[in-house]
A = this chain, B = another copy of it.
Amino acid sequence: MEKTSTARQRREQSLTRAQIITVAIKLLDDTGESGLTFQALSKLLATGPGAIYWHVANKSDLMTAACDAIVSRTLGTTSVDVPPEEAIRAIALELFDTIDAHPWVGGALMHAPGQLPMVRIFERIGQQLRSLDVPAGREWAAVSTLLNYILGVAGQNAANAKLAKVHDLKRSSFLEDVSAAWSKLDVNEYPFTRSVVDQLASHDDRKDFVDGIDFILRGIAAEREKMVGPEGLEPPTKRL
């Protein structure tokens, strides 16, 4: 009944914020969002719950820090020197895969608006949009759209993972439950939903995700093309 694995050391060196974050990530990965407790954390770190508060402001601070560690690691590996639209797709997909592997990151991302992890994504996408020559006045809207879409999918993934863990641990397809519930909806009130129930089981989350990114990118491009118009003259992009 006792976790004999990661609980050793402590004593030779003093506790570190980085150390805490590392163990927190391990805990979150192993036991999910609800598994991160100061109790469990302090046991793994062989210390008291109070000690952690010396290095970390509170649980929310810890979550954001753990999230940022993952996000910065992910964005660090993105390839450069590809066309901007492809780069954005690559950034988005890497985020998707990361959140798929660590669903709690999705939840943490959602609950830390304006915080460092989100700014990292904002910046990366913004830079690519800038080399796409999106007019200065439309940059904000374009980045926000992409970011909010990514956050929506991220949050949904996190929620799915939590539901799957709560409902029961074995059956990976709670999709069947949803599918069954949708099939019982009134056909007159929910004609569309009823007509696409079968796609619930067959659809590919990852593919759908990129499709969404592509819709947005196409929308941004379409607006740009319309603005260049007959003269082909664009307002000079604001530098720095």
Contact = CB atoms under 8 A, between A and B. Distances in A.
A196 B139 contact: yes
A45 B192 CA distance: 39
B193 A119 contact: yes
A116 to B, nearest CB: 8
Interface in A191-216: 191-193, 195-196, 199, 203, 208, 211-212, 214-216
A159 B111 contact: yes
A28 interface: no
B181 A114 contact: yes
A90 interface: no
Contacts of A127: 191-192
Interface in A93-143: 110-114, 119, 122-123, 126-127, 129-130, 138-142
Interface string A208-233: 10011011111111110000000000
A174 to B, nearest CB: 8
Interface residues of A, number: 62
Given A148-B152, A191-B127, A110 B159 contact: yes
A142 B219 CA distance: 12
B238 A195 contact: yes
Contacts of A156: 110, 113, 148, 151
Given A141-B212, A145-B149, 10 more contacts: A111-B162, A114-B182, A126-B192, A141-B208, A142-B215, A144-B208, A144-B211, A148-B153, A214-B219, A216-B219
